[in-house]
A = this chain, B = another copy of it.
Amino acid sequence: MSKPYVLGVDIGGTNTVFGIVDARGQVIASDSIKTRKHANFDDYIEELHSGVMHLLHANDAEDKIQGIGIGAPNANYYTGEIQNPPNLPWGPIIPLAEKVSKAFGGIPVAITNDANAAALGEMTYGAARGMKDFIMITLGTGVGSGIVVNGQLVYGQDGNAGELGHLVVKRNNGRVCGCGRTGCLEAYCSATGVARTAREFLEIRTEPSTLRNLQIEDITSKDVYDAAVAGDKIAKDIFEYTGTLLGQAFADMVVFSSPQAIILFGGLAKSGDLLMRPLKEAFENSLMPIFRGKTKIILSELKESDAAVLGASALGWEAKYKYEVPSRTLPAVEEEA
């Protein structure tokens, strides 16, 4: 007997947002807790459980949750664990799926990383509805990706497939990347990559730029965007450079999976023509002839505030991991008066 709702949980470095979602992708209700409040993971789970139970109770949905889908950085679909997360306090290996399923009395749980969740959300409720082959690219602090082939997420042998932010785009003399190597796409085309490009351009070039009024170390991609919109030449060239590198990298992605679309999500993706014109131009010019004119580059169709929860929730429909509740009675669910 399938139930009418799923619970979507997005664990970010600052907030954990959770929402009740129906089959049409409506977020019925949502709430959040602070992710890093508890140094102990069990305490975090307890607060999450308590917060979710209140939300379910308030919406008369206690017995209506089919599954729980969770998106979190470095979350591994296969193992149910968060592995070596850069921004979470609970140790290198966090048994997320097990603890959540246990806390919720055995409701099936599935977890995946945030970019994969975004891809699932887009496929279930957004721009990729009906697509069997597409690539989701998230342009945020880093560059994340979720790849769908034959209607399925590509997880690879270990759950770590789809790290397209770490395609090497500068083989020689490339920038140091957070992954420990050099020249990765992420080091150039993330929000932080754009800020690094700005520092590089301002050092090397001599033209005037309003960006020179800022402390060079404090420049953000938002500063570059604002300057470009105001017509600043160097700022516009930074977007030209960023878009070109992205377009070239996208052409390499196409020889892999020949997707119907590459879908962009995240702050940088909202830069409009500043980014999209050079990106699409470089993309079409870089494509192998047999692929030209076939792969659309489009923006996410999910509302940004809902996207993370929706993406995670999409995984809830197919969640299979179920913690077996021991025969002894579980502690009663806490509820406030």
Residues of A at the B interface (CB closer than 8 Å) are: 84, 132-133, 147, 149-150, 152, 154-164, 166-171, 179-181, 248, 251-253, 255-260, 286, 288-291, 294-295
Contact = CB atoms under 8 A, between A and B. Distances in A.
Interface of A is mostly: loop
Contact of A288 (B154, B163, B248, B294): B163
Contacts of A181: 286, 288-289
B158 A149 contact: no
A135 to B, nearest CB: 10
B258 A157 contact: yes
Contacts of A260: 157
B259 A256 contact: no
A252 B167 contact: yes
Nearest to A258: B156
Given A166-B288, A256-B161, A150 B152 contact: yes
A163 B289 contact: no
B180 A289 contact: yes
Contacts of A255: 161-164, 166-167
A256 B251 CA distance: 13
A155 B159 CA distance: 21
Contacts of A154: 149-150, 256-257
B133 A291 contact: no
B257 A156 contact: yes
* Residue from the set A164, A170, A252 with the largest chain B CB neighbour count within 10 Å: A252
A248 B163 contact: no
Given A168-B248, A180-B289, A251-B168, A258 B158 contact: yes
Closest 9 CB pairs of A and B: A156-B258, A161-B258, A163-B255, A157-B260, A166-B255, A161-B257, A166-B288, A149-B149, A160-B258
